[in-house]
Amino acid sequence: MSRPTDELTLDQATIRAADPREMLADVLSLPDQLRDAAWKVESAGLTPWESPGGLVIAGMGGSGIGGALAMEAIGDTASRPISLARGYELPSWTTADSTVLCTSYSGSTEETLACYEAAGVIGARRVVATTGGELGELARRDGVPVIPIAGGLQPRAALGYVFVAALEVAALAGVAPRRTIEIDVAAAHLEQLVGEWGPGAPSDAEPKALARQLLGTIPLIYGAGPTSAVAYRWKCQFNENAKLHAFSHSLPELDHNELMGWERAAESAAFAAVFLDDPDLHPRLAQRIAITRDLIDDQAQATIVVGQRSGTTLERLLSLVLLGDLASVYLAVLRGQDPSPIAGIDALKRALSA
């Protein structure tokens, strides 16, 4: 039985007891993952090529979000189209001139396997990022290069590997510039944050304080511009780690629909709105954050603006990712939940395989 939340604190001993499979340690390994991932891409022996048809990144869940974040990091520096495939099919515009990066931590994700086969039928260039499994076996059979991912992690905790693989493949395919130096700088910045935000951090450290603010609420995570993909990452981490309903949306679109859902929100549930800010936002988006927060404040349990970060786009995005990942684990501890198991997802996969 879970311990009552009012008995729980976020000291190191309590965190350790609630997290026996050490999800927190995996989250804190993000800077090491970035460095190791760059080396693993090199070990795949890839040489540059031209991909006039652009890049498709196929992946689901924790294996797919790295591609979405890479797209945000690349932003308007992309010279060719980049798209995500989060399902069984590739975008209709995928041609033999395209590159398809198939990412699956386990190598057994059926949607990604379907995209891999579809890319082969089309004649597109394929690259695989995986720990092995059926996807790895198929790639070896077909002579498709494999970017290895370190084993022993939950797929959602291996984000650094997929993120770097997507950035590097985009560069190798001539779709975007290389960001090797930016990755190194971001890793160094994250190392500093790991020291400031880890389990030994004071109770008012940002991720611990955020977890306490969100305790007892349903988080609605709102991104804007480059933080839209980060908002979705936060939503997924609250789902999987804290075993909690959470939702994400993006400005300005949410102001054209979801805003009205706040009109009597307090009658439905204790909602908390978290806005992810960024210094590169369009000025009107920054205004929308402030105005939207004011409009919903009386119906929300909490409205929180996660302040602007400094540094490169990669540093800012990844620091927000780390903050959300840590907050989700700390919230799991406050809720008396082990963050690692995903029994519902495992049951679904068993049912599908049967």
Active centre residues (catalytic): 240, 256, 349
Q: Which residues contact 69 (CB under 8 A, 6 or more apart)?
A: 159, 163, 229, 230, 233, 317, 321
Q: Which residues contact 53 (CB under 8 A, 6 or more apart)?
A: 80, 81, 93, 94, 95, 96, 97, 98, 99, 124
H or E stretch at 37? helix 30-43
Question: What phi and psi values does residue 175 have, to the nearest 5 degrees?
Answer: -95, -25
The CA-atom distances, in angstroms, between 191 and each of 36, 63, 162, 174 are 14, 23, 19, 30
Rounded distance between C-alpha atoms, residue 146 and residue 142, angstroms: 11
Q: Is 202 helix (H, G, I), strand (E, B) or coil?
A: coil
Rounded distance between C-alpha atoms, residue 113 and residue 103, angstroms: 9
Contact (CB, 8 A) for 102 and 60: no
Rounded distance between C-alpha atoms, residue 149 and residue 151, angstroms: 6
How would you label 33-61 residue by residue, b for 16+ Cβ within 10 Å and e otherwise? bbbbbbebbeebeeeeeebebbbbbbbbb
DSSP lists the bridge partners of residue 83 as 56
CA-based nearest residue to 274, from 242, 244, 251 = 251
Contact (CB, 8 A) for 156 and 104: no
The residue type at 284: R
Report, in angstroms and rounded to the nearest whole number, the Rg of the chain calculated over CA atoms.
20
